[in-house]
Amino acid sequence: MAKSIAVAGVTGAVGQEFLKVLADRNFPFSKIKMLASERSAGKTIEFKGKTYTVELLSEDSFEDVDIALFSAGGARSKQFAPAAVAAGAVVVDNSSAFRMDPDTPLVVPEVNPEDVTQHKGIIANPNCSTIIMVVPIWPIHKVNPIKRIVVSTYQAASGAGAKAMQELIDQSRDVLDEREVRKEALPHQIAFNLFSHNSDIGPEGYCEEEMKMVHETRKMFHCPQLAITATTIRVPVLRAHSEAINLELTNPMSPDEVREILSKAPGIKIVDDRQGNYFPMPLDASGKDDMLVGRIRQDISRSDGRGIDLFVSGDQLRKGAALNAVQIAELLV
């Protein structure tokens, strides 16, 4: 059944990816509203052969809207999502505003699609790093429950938005041309450098990005005591995040058993060519819907066979944001 949809934050990197995914998946809509801030209101956008004028995002934007896809930042989500719900829309929110709200389901369709039915008007899209991790580990967890996760991320500039992506390009040119490097979107030079994720550090010494991976995974897995430790790093990659994941399982499991499970799991492509030394790379993951999974091997630091290592690359703008939100909208349809 065709729905009336709205895209809030349509001119941003994720908002533009929303439109690409909606078109790629031929999402059934009867009409669509393009919404953004004052800075972008009045601009025009071409979508599926038609020209749309970007409207100002306001509390009055959601009359006759069935599904509102939000990627306008946490503050705007908190401000405008309740108005959308009051108007009768279901909000799929890409910000962190509602993720840990106990009344708001946090959903990855490959993991916990059934939680969608528990919404009270808002469904939260998890953090991109969390999504890229849980899609490949959930199928393993269903067969052999995970007891502990150790994850290190290699996060692309795309995770900080379109301005950060452009800053990586500009800084790379500046470095190569021996010009002064300018920093605006990110706090440190990203070209030819890497640094700890630039979110606030909490009292435990973990940054917000790391704690998002902990809390969000526990919520979606319905495992509040699941042991997780994360280290999140920003790297000079334009698009697509990568993650090194170490799992402690309840029972022994071989790499071949893991490959067999993942080969049948949705949203995953195994890239694990040991002979050719070819494994997941962000270049290969960019623009793709599937998570690329490789380096599947036994943790040799353990003698009990209960440790597995993986390396994953996934497009932060696609499955890490826009695709996941549209998949949630498809569940609603």
Residue from 93, 144, 134, 95 nearest 112 by CA: 134
With tokens 């989500």, the residue in question is 77
Q: Which two three-digit tokens encode residue 138?
A: 């959930």
Residue from 146, 112, 196 nearest 310 by CA: 146
Q: Give first-to-last CA distance, the chain, whole Å.
A: 7
Q: List Cα–Cα distances, 270 to 27, 131, 212, 265, 266, in angstroms.
A: 27, 17, 26, 10, 11
User: Would residue 197 show up in a list of annotated catalytic residues for this protein?
Assistant: no
Q: Which two three-digit tokens encode residue 238?
A: 């334009």
Residue from 294, 328, 299 nearest 314 by CA: 294
User: Which of 128, 141, 207, 215 is labelled catalytic?
Assistant: 128
User: Which of 119, 141, 215, 241 is labelled catalytic?
Assistant: 241
Cα dihedral 17, 289, 233, 219 sign: positive
Q: List Cα–Cα distances, 287 to 49, 133, 227, 316, in angstroms.
A: 22, 18, 32, 9
User: Would residue 241 show up in a list of annotated catalytic residues for this protein?
Assistant: yes
The Cα–Cα gap between 276 and 272 comes to 9
Which residues are annotated as catalytic? 128, 241
